[in-house]
Structure 1
């Protein structure tokens, strides 16, 4: 028995994002399951669910060595990449703010950009999509940011983005090269010097225009797991070497135990141990009694009787199984 396929909806859903399209679901007649004589795919036609969502189409997977392999369309992937290209990844170190909090921060601190779209991921980071590449770049190159006194990690979205591998380990930091010789301020020289630390991304405007010559400032992607050096060894064309000093706008703390930014469990444990040792080695304090200086510790010092008992002519007896108040 032949079953008529539903006609595709000629009008795409206007509520869907611009990079998506609305296509009615079509299933081969041999695989259709019916309920009450009606095909499953016809149950959603014309319903509110179909109007709000995005309809799909069945595409037969490829079979290789007896296993199904799903092949994606290069054209569709490139279309999606173009849509998400003007996006940044935003992560707040040591805090989990709400979307409303992030939206308020963006409105007050990035008011030069058109209102972006904010998405939250359950892994604890945000995806912020701007309306133009100019707005995105302006935010990335704006320098270190704080949200409620918590540092922000901001980096551009990429096709190979992996939160666990990138946000928590490789972050962009502004780095200064104090007293860098002026003949080393070219794009090539700054790129070479910055590559000694990580992956250079951008030079700030003052360095580009040489409006400030006391130091060069570069945005560099750094692996925060590795120790950050305080200098870079540079060799000039004549073979003469010198150590170029390095200063970081923000020194991040990474915990190798928790694989998170903002704290270090090993240092916290060491501090607790040091505190215990200091308490045990605390010197006896001086107790002045009747003009005599007696050195006593807390463990050996005799407790003083309360003032109210002295006023009543009483003094506390020594604690014991038959502890009672003795009359003076």
Structure 2
């Protein structure tokens, strides 16, 4: 080596500059792109230990999700966009829908009053019962074994003068328990059929028709299950 010549000339190009650069974490690039990352930090006191989450850590989230319901549709899980349209049409315009494990869904409402409104009624999706419960931090996401389920039925050929609640309840008692019935004034097809919700035993075979004695005359009515 000639006198006065630096030994660094024998190093690969760029080696000296790399070794002299300060250490940079890749997180810096994310923080610059998304300021919310500034709130994230490394908790060195739990490294390698059991993590303990207290109520204080999540109190805001508990409050936020308290205006939610969880549930599932009996049978096959509905497609997300179809079910989202159902919720928007039937339950609320302001909500967030999330699919959870094992066919469960969560609907978070912006207005807490929507929770009570939804839970106060029985709902079906494409003729299948929707099982609902209020969300809580300890909510159990396991499907119950149900023996009695609600379903919607269309009753055809029942004379118009026999469509009062007391009479319809008698008719339905032949095979089920009447729970609800459409408002006749809101049913545009009220001349064709009566739409009712009944509670049925999942183990029993449901009839497609039945004979009713109306003023001493046998009248056969047709039952269609939605």
Task: Provide the TM-score with structure 1 as the length reference.
Answer: 0.37
Q: Which has the higher helix share?
A: 2
Residue ranges of structure 1 left out of the alignment (5+ in a row): 1-43, 55-82, 146-150, 250-328
Distance verdict in 2 for CA 1:225–1:126, change over 3 Å: farther
Q: State the partner residue of 1:89.
A: 71
Residue in structure 1 matching 2:145, options 156, 165, 175: 165
| 1:249-288 CA distance string (max 9 Å, x none) | 2xxxxxxxxxxxxxxxxxxxxxxxxxxxxxxxxxxxxxxx
How far residue 235 of structure 1 moved from its aligned partner, in angstroms, is 3.4
* 8 Å contact from structure 1 (residues 177, 245) kept in 2: yes
Q: State the partner residue of 2:158.
A: 180
Larger relative contact order (Cα-Cα within 8 Å, sequence gap ≥ 6): 2
How far residue 118 of structure 1 moved from its aligned partner, in angstroms, is 5.9
Residue in structure 2 matching 1:201, options 179, 194, 218: 179
Distance verdict in 2 for CA 1:209–1:49, change over 3 Å: closer
Larger Rg: 1 or 2? 1
Matches within 5 A, 1:80-229: 87=69, 89-91=71-73, 93-95=75-77, 102=80, 104-112=81-89, 113-116=92-95, 124-126=103-105, 128=107, 131=112, 132=114, 133-135=116-118, 140=123, 144-145=125-126, 152-157=128-133, 163-166=143-146, 169-205=147-183, 207-209=184-186, 211=188, 212-229=190-207
Task: Provide the TM-score with structure 2 as the length reference.
Answer: 0.51
* 8 Å contact from structure 2 (residues 212, 218) kept in 1: yes
Distance verdict in 2 for CA 1:176–1:117, change over 3 Å: same
Distance verdict in 2 for CA 1:186–1:87, change over 3 Å: farther
Q: State the partner residue of 1:301.
A: none
How far residue 189 of structure 1 moved from its aligned partner, in angstroms, is 1.2
Helix, strand or coil: the match of 1:164? coil
Q: How many residues align?
A: 157
Distance verdict in 2 for CA 1:107–1:176, change over 3 Å: closer
Helix, strand or coil: the match of 1:183? helix
Residue ranges of structure 2 left out of the alignment (5+ in a row): 1-50, 60-65, 135-141
